[in-house]
Amino acid sequence: MTDILISILTTTIIAGGVLVLAALGETLSERVGVMNLGLEGLISMGAVIAVLTSFATDNVWLSFMAAGLVGLALGILFAFTTVVIRANQILCGLSLTFIGLGFSASIGNSVAGRPVTAEFELIPIPYLSEIPVLGSILFSHSLPVYLAYFFLPLVIYFLFFHTRHGLNIRSVGENPASAESAGVSVMTIRMIYVSLGGLLTALAGAYLTLIFIPTWSEGITGGRGWIAIAVVIFARCNPVKVVFGSILFGLVTALGFAAQAMNWPISPTFLSSLPYLLTLLVLLTPTFNANEKFLKNMPAAIGRPYYREERN
């Protein structure tokens, strides 16, 4: 019994890692006031690039980084259109989704279904990994998992809430005009963090095909990009809460796998729909969403392009 539990929880952590990375990327972007709806495309691109690179080089770290680079490039493109050109963020994000999904499907065609052989080493943390139960669930993973769950959220949290730079970053998302008056360069900060957001989200894709489901196929992203956005809303752009939200969604996925593997009498389709149902639930729950208090906790200036010299 404990074995099953451990296995479910371990899968939870691994599954949730994709969401953590993608959601952290989106957090960076939304914290500076830009909503990026292109996550699905970014994850897809990151996933396919990682797979292709791994077949070409058989080196997981190179594959991981290659995905990150592509994500950065796409992030810069998206940032340029929304921050410099100031085109509609929603439409640019949707375009990015289509572009990413379409392009990755095309280039991934030749390797669809082929199992990825390159692997990340498992690095159990000394002492901590020997704790019964918790040790194998939390502390016996590969580096990217630690990156996603421990390193990145803490770094981002510290940056945003305990540095001078972080104060400036947050002001850009709350009130860009005030930020600009105070001497903060809104355009620069938005370009930087939206691009970095793209990088992280693509890394989520690499994580997906290198660690979680080591192969490429069309549609492997399965809506995770959209779920990541829901996680960010749920976590109100707070990096630490993002981790917990992702674990929750990861749990739902893990339960789905376990049910299938152990032939629990639940329809597999229903299990597959759980993440989406949970997202809906999270979105619609009154405590989280219904009133101003919630809206106040999201960066106030999300979604609107910023014009420095706008008259009146």
Partner 1 sequence: MLDKLNKDNWKVQTKLVVSKKTIFFAQLLAILFALFVSSIVIKLSGLNPLLLGAKALNSTLGSFFGLEQLGILLTPILITAVAAATAFRMGLWNIGIEGQFYLGTIAVTLVGLNIEGPNFLILIILVIVGIIGGALWALLPALAKAYANISEIISTLMLNFIAILLVNYLAIGPLRDKTGAGVMASSARISYSLPEWFGALHIGFFFALIILGIYAIVSFYTQFSYETEMIGANSKVGPYIGVSASKRIILIMLISGGIAGLAGMVEITGNIHRLQDGISNQFGIFGIIVAVLSRGSPLGILIGSVFIALVLNSGIVLQSVGLSVNSVLFLTGLILLAVTCSEVLVRYKLVYVSQNINLIKEKNND
Partner 2 sequence: MVSDLSAPKISMSDISKSFPGIIANDQISIQFEPFQIHALLGENGAGKSTLMNILCGIYQPDNGSISVNRKLVKFKTPQHSIALGIGMVHQHFRLVSTFTVAENLHLGWDKTPRFITNKKLLIRAKDLISKYDFNVSVDSYIEQLSIGEQQRVEILKALSRGANTLILDEPTAVLTPDESKKLFITLRKLAKNGYSIIIISHKLKEVVLHTDIISVLRKGKKVVTMNTTECDEESLGRLMIGRTIVSKKYKKSVFHQPKIVAEVRNICANNDKGMTVLNNISFKVKAGEILGIAGVTGNGQRELSEVLSGIRKTTSGSIKINGVDLTNKSSKFYLKQGLGFIPEDRIGSSLASSKPIYLNASLREYNSEPLGKNGLFYPIKAKNFTNKLIKTAKVDSKDINIPVANLSGGNQQRLILHREVRIAKHFLIVVYPTRGLDIAAMEDIRKILIDLRNKGVGILLISEELDEIFSLSDRVAVIFQGSLMDTFEADEAELSQIGLLMGGSVKNAR
74 neighbors 16 (Cβ within 8 angstroms):
no
Q: Min. distance of Cβ 107 from partner 1 in angstroms?
A: 8
Q: Establish if 53 lies at the interface with partner 2 (CB under 8 A).
A: no
Q: Which of 155, 145, 141 is nearest to 27 (CA)?
A: 155
CA angle centred on 201, ends 196 and 206, rounded to 5°? 120
Among 12, 82, 89, 171, binds partner 2 (CB under 8 A): 171
Q: Establish if 266 lies at the interface with partner 1 (CB under 8 A).
A: no
Q: Establish if 105 lies at the interface with partner 1 (CB under 8 A).
A: yes
Residue 270 binding: pick among partner 1, partner 2, none (C-beta 5-8 Å cut-off by kind) = partner 1
Q: Establish if 229 lies at the interface with partner 1 (CB under 8 A).
A: yes
- The stretch near partner 1 (CB under 8 A) out of 25-33, 92-100, 117-125, 187-195 is 92-100
Q: Residue 241, by phi and psi: left (phi above 0), alpha (psi -120 to 50) or beta?
A: alpha
36 neighbors 78 (Cβ within 8 angstroms):
yes
Instruction: List the x/- string, 231-260, binding to partner 1 by CB under 8 A.
Output: --x---------------------------
245 neighbors 39 (Cβ within 8 angstroms):
no
- Compute the distance between CA of residue 118 and CA of residue 60 in angstroms, rounded to an integer: 6
Q: Establish if 184 lies at the interface with partner 2 (CB under 8 A).
A: yes
Residue 52 binding: pick among partner 2, partner 1, none (C-beta 5-8 Å cut-off by kind) = none
Q: Which of 275, 243, 242 is nearest to 256 (CA)?
A: 275
- The stretch near partner 1 (CB under 8 A) out of 4-12, 60-68, 161-169, 282-290 is 282-290
DSSP state of 112: B
Among 99, 179, 202, 237, binds partner 1 (CB under 8 A): 99
Among 59, 106, 109, 163, binds partner 2 (CB under 8 A): 163
> What tokens does 150 get?
């421990």
Residue 126: Cβ-neighbour burial (10 angstroms; 0-12, 13-18, 19+): exposed
Cβ atoms < 10 Å from Cβ of 302: 18
Among 218, 248, 255, 258, binds partner 1 (CB under 8 A): 218
Please give the residues from 129 up to 158 whose contact with partner 1 meets the rule CB under 8 A: none
Residues in the site for partner 2, rule: CB under 8 A? 162-165, 167-168, 170-171, 174-175, 177-185, 296, 300, 308-309, 311-312
